[in-house]
Amino acid sequence: MRLSVVIPAHDEVESINETLQSTVTHLQGAGIEHEILVIDDHSRDGTGELVETIAEHNPNVRCVRSHLPPGFGHAVRAGLELYTGDAVAVMMADMSDSPRDLVLYYRVLAQGYDCAFGTRFGHGGRTQGYPRFKLVLNRLVNVGIRVLFQHGYNDTTNAFKAYRRHVIEQLQPLLSNHFNLTVELPLKAVVRGFSYAVVPVTWTNRRHGSSKLKLQEMGSRYLFIVLYVWLEHHLCRGDYRRRDVPANGRECARARVASHPRQ
């Protein structure tokens, strides 16, 4: 199984080199066939040029400037159109996600799960330097999503996840242009009956630059996507569910959720 890692990057010249070097080291060390696809989200600080220089010395690294308008969701969607692997993980460019956890995700998918979800807040998960206000807001939003969907997963908003190719194909079309894509992808996967396992992951606050997530701009966008998927789940009578899952597929998918220890 070949793993693609899609990394959206907007003005990340101070972080992207370390992100790429660490990712390559961990994937090569685990013997995982891979590509790393950096989507330059209209950067103006030389991020794209730096990645292209790195790619000249590593054929597994590619840099593509996004053909869509600026925005995190647009950049990820551009990457999901262009990746070539059998599975894909979405990872941040600022070293907030640990490349070591990509190996855990790969092992989950290799076991036959459709999706690999990380939790920063379950047993074994860790956060370092998480801003308190964002932490409180994150926990409230995730509790609300958990109650609404009854899926038992406590970190839906985490962007760092992995999916097999057939999952991405069956989640189309994607609607989110911004960070609300981080909830559209996993919620669609859950309600459409794809299996997933949850593993503990580490999140570390960025050391360089500033976060691209603007909380004041995202409330209504998150709410729209959450309600959109909830309505699909309750009103579409299973029209979009994967066809190889039995009638009680949601229960079957949930039953296969496993907790994998950090290795």
The reported pLDDT for the residue numbered 239 is: 78
**pLDDT above 50 (res 155):** yes
**Residue 232, phi-psi category: left (phi > 0), alpha (psi -120 to 50), beta (remainder):** alpha
What's the predicted TM-score (pTM) here?
A: 0.89
pLDDT digits (tens, 9 = 90+) for 46-72: 999 999 999 999 999 999 999 999 999
171 domain-assigned: yes
Which residue range is the domain that position 210 belongs to? Answer: 3-255
Domain membership of residue 207 (yes or no) is: yes
Q: Between β-strands 161-164 and 115-119, what pairing exists: parallel, antiparallel or unpaired?
A: antiparallel
pLDDT tens per residue, range 68-117: 999 999 999 999 999 999 999 999 999 999 999 999 999 999 999 999 99
| Separation CA 151–CA 119 (nearest Å) | 14
Percent of the chain beyond pLDDT 90? 80
Amino acid identity, position 225: I
Residue 252 has pLDDT above 80, yes or no: no
Mean pLDDT of the chain: 89
Q: Specify the pLDDT at position 47.
A: 97
Q: How confident is the model at residue 24 (pLDDT cuts 50, 70, 90)?
A: very high
Q: In the predicted model, what is the mean pLDDT of residues 139-157?
A: 95
**pLDDT digit string, tens, across residues 198-229:** 999 999 997 875 655 555 556 789 999 999 99
Do the domain assignments include residue 72?
yes
Q: Is residue 262 part of a domain?
A: no
CATH number at residue 246: 3.90.550.10
- Please work out, in degrees rounded to the nearest 5, the angle formed at the alpha carbon of residue 160 by the alpha carbons of 244 and 170: 25
In a domain, 261, yes or no: no
pLDDT at 32 over 50: yes
For residue 88, being part of any structural domain is answered with: yes
The one-character DSSP state at 2 is: P
Give per-residue burial for 62-84: e unless 16+ CB within 10 Å, then b: bbbebebeebbbbbbbbbbeebe
Number of folded domains that form the chain: 1
Which residue is associated with the tokens 């597929």? 249
Q: Report which of residues 167 and 260 the model is more confident about.
A: 167
pLDDT score, position 220: 86
Q: What is the model's pLDDT at position 243?
A: 63
Question: Does 114 map to a domain?
Answer: yes
Q: Where are the beta strands (DSSP E) in the chain?
A: 3-9, 34-40, 61-65, 87-90, 115-119, 126-128, 161-164, 196-200, 202-204
Could you tell me if residue 260 is inside a domain?
no
- Residues 210, 45: Cα–Cα separation, whole Å: 13
